[in-house]
Amino acid sequence: MDSYHPRLILFDIDGTLLKGGHRLRQWFGESLESVYGQAGNIDGHSFSGKTDPQIVTELMRGAGLPEDRILGLLPDLQEVYLRRMREELSAEDMTLLPDVVPVLTRLQESSEVTLGLLTGNWEGGARSKLACFDLNRFFPFGAFGDDRADRIDLPPVALERASQGRGRSFASPETLIVGDSPLDVACARAHGIKVATVATGYTSLEQLQATGADWVLAGLGEAGRIHPVFGS
């Protein structure tokens, strides 16, 4: 893969750049209870790689709520949860993962690449999380859970926004997705995009290797293995 030169790099957030603590899941559950009257099996539910709307839908389906009620109240849930994040989230509730700022700084300073987000978070939640560590400055655009309920449908949104923002088109073969879950790999594979995974999230290095990702890294500090533009 020595000839690979990514021009567009799309980063996941949770488990890739940051990690949220117990309070975020607690707020999500309390928001569900406020809007739907229950939180479902939230303690046993995996959020990894999923969009926020998908998580809500899965939890509420599991709790036996009808589809029309789930979808009808989804905007209310989004409003309640994101307001809580805007008002209360701080850096103490999150962990900035190792090497994130140095890697993003090197990439931002390079004329070779454009940076964006590809995350299942609603955009308001994504921006609140990134703001805790002044990371929004690296990502002028992205594709979010607001755009599609299924992560696998997000890459075309991100490519279109990159094209609009940069005044040139971006193709799948010159794009790289960086994430931490098997769903990041599936999302990239569905669109012919190369994918690098980092074992800083909720999936082990061995499990990530089994996904067939193009690169499996212990963390972003190893990103120089992908291309020299990432630095060492």
Q: Domain ranges for the chain, please list them.
A: 8-20+94-230, 22-91
pTM score, two decimals?
0.95
Q: What pLDDT is stored for residue 232 in this prediction?
A: 53
Q: What percent of the chain has pLDDT over 70?
A: 98
Q: What pLDDT is stored for residue 21 in this prediction?
A: 78
Per-residue three-class SS string for 138-174: HCCCEECCCCCCCHHHCHHHHHHHHHHHHCCCCCHHH
Other residues' Cβ atoms within 10 Å of the Cβ of residue 164: 11
Give the β-pairing of 94-96 and 18-20: antiparallel
The CA distance from 134 to 62, in Å, is: 37
Q: What is the mean pLDDT of residues 70-99?
A: 97
Read off the pLDDT of residues 162-220 as tens digits, 9 standing for 90 and up: 999 888 999 999 999 999 999 999 999 999 999 999 999 999 999 999 999 999 999 99
The CA distance from 99 to 91, in Å, is: 17
Of the candidates 140, 142, 113, the residue with the CA atom closest to the CA atom of residue 228: 113
Read off the pLDDT of residues 118-152 as tens digits, 9 standing for 90 and up: 999 999 999 999 999 999 999 999 999 999 999 99
Considering the four listed CATH numbers 3.40.50.12780, 3.40.50.720, 3.30.460.80, 3.40.50.1000, the one that applies to the domain covering 8-20+94-230 is 3.40.50.1000
Q: Is the pLDDT of residue 98 over 80?
A: yes
CATH number of the 22-91 domain:
1.10.150.240
